[in-house]
Amino acid sequence: MSAPLLKVNNLKKAYGAIQAVGGVSFEVMPGEIFGVIGPNGSGKTTLFNSMLGQIKPDSGSIELNGEDVSRLGPLELNRRGVGRTFQTLQVFGKMTVRDNLLVAAQEHQGTMFGRMFAPSDSGLGAKADALIDQFRIRHVADKKAGELSYGQQKLVDIAMAFMSQPALVLLDEPCAGVNPSLVGGISTLLKQLNQQQGAKKSSFVVIEHNMDFVMDLCHRIMVMVEGQVMAIGTPAEIRGNKQVLDAYLGN
């Protein structure tokens, strides 16, 4: 058995009297796609932001490859191989699609000053072109990202997260606002990205409300309710868990 890539231990975060995350623990193995589901207010976003260094947990720990990274900020985590997407799009609307991808990788590799004054593609052009082809956005590669449809911008946003070849990618509602016809395509792309690196393939943690998407994509799923872990299991186990059905999924 390989060691966990990500290990969250008894993580807690409160806002005044409200315990947003109340002692959450789980592990993500190398190459695993791990889903996080739960109703609004269950603590998913607070958990994600704690894992990404955007907020500091009150207690507990977050380990990446055995190293405690609980107090690291987003940039330090990014340089240790953590990528992410946002529920709200984070593309640069006045830049071309290709330049958006280049900037995403430059952020991983250098300073803000370096990103502003680096050569045109910083030697990253081939990597950007490969992702552009994989995401089937070659026909819009030279268009400004702000001119694209929402679904196309979502694809650009996801592609940007993979420019740094991260070991761990946190995906915050990748299907939110996307035309249902594109959801299957996003699932297929993520499966390909998960598998293509062989022994070094990326692990994903996915927050998503689209249950069909989660059940199809994820190897294991964690259900959160009121800041607590209700269940962790395979999609089949989660579907068959009466407590989860009664509290969240419904009959």
Residue type, 28: V
Q: Kindly report the average pLDDT of the chain as a whole number.
A: 87
Edge to edge, what strands does the sheet with 18-28 contain? 18-28, 6-15, 59-64, 67-68
Given this model, what pLDDT does residue 42 score? 92
User: pLDDT over 90 for what percent of the chain?
Assistant: 62
Report the candidate in 7, 14, 10 with the shortest Cα–Cα distance to residue 58.
Answer: 14
Residue 117 φ then ψ, to 5°: -120, 15
CB 52 within 8 A of CB 82: yes
Q: Is the pTM here over 0.85, yes or no? A: yes
Across the range 227-242, mean pLDDT stands at 95
User: pLDDT over 70 for what percent of the chain?
Assistant: 89
CB 217 within 8 A of CB 234: no
Helix axes 150-161, 125-134, angle to 10 degrees: 130
Residue 249 has pLDDT above 80, yes or no: no
123 SS3 class: coil
Given this model, what pLDDT does residue 118 score? 52
Residue 239 has pLDDT above 70, yes or no: yes
Residue 20: CB atoms within 10 A of its CB come to 21
Domain definitions of the chain by residue range: 1-81+167-251, 89-165
Instruction: Indicate the helix (H) or strand (E) that contains 156.
Output: helix 150-161
- pLDDT bucket at 219, cuts 50 / 70 / 90: very high
Across the range 51-62, mean pLDDT stands at 93
Q: Considering all CA atoms of the chain, what is the largest pairwise distance in Å, rounded to the nearest integer?
A: 57
15 SS3 class: strand
Given this model, what pLDDT does residue 123 score? 57
Given this model, what pLDDT does residue 231 score? 95
For domain 1-81+167-251, give the CATH superfamily: P-loop containing nucleotide triphosphate hydrolases (3.40.50.300)
Q: Where are the beta strands (DSSP E) in 41-160?
A: 59-64, 67-68, 82-85
Instruction: Indicate the helix (H) or strand (E) that contains 236.
Output: helix 235-239
Given this model, what pLDDT does residue 115 score? 44
* Cα gap 23→227, rounded to integer Å: 8
Across the range 34-52, mean pLDDT stands at 93
Residue 81 φ then ψ, to 5°: 100, 25
pLDDT in tens, 88-125: 788 899 999 999 999 888 755 544 445 455 555 555 78
Report the candidate in 152, 161, 233, 237 with the shortest Cα–Cα distance to residue 203.
Answer: 161
Given this model, what pLDDT does residue 245 score? 85
Residue 151 φ then ψ, to 5°: -60, -40
Given this model, what pLDDT does residue 197 score? 56
Find the range with the poorest average confidence among 77-91, 114-128, 129-143, 208-222: 114-128
More confident residue, 233 or 185: 233
* Cα gap 204→31, rounded to integer Å: 8
Identify any residues that bridge with 172 across adjacent strands, giving them in sequence order.
207
Given this model, what pLDDT does residue 113 score? 46
pLDDT in tens, 12-24: 999 999 999 999 9
Given this model, what pLDDT does residue 1 score? 59
Residue 53 has pLDDT above 50, yes or no: yes
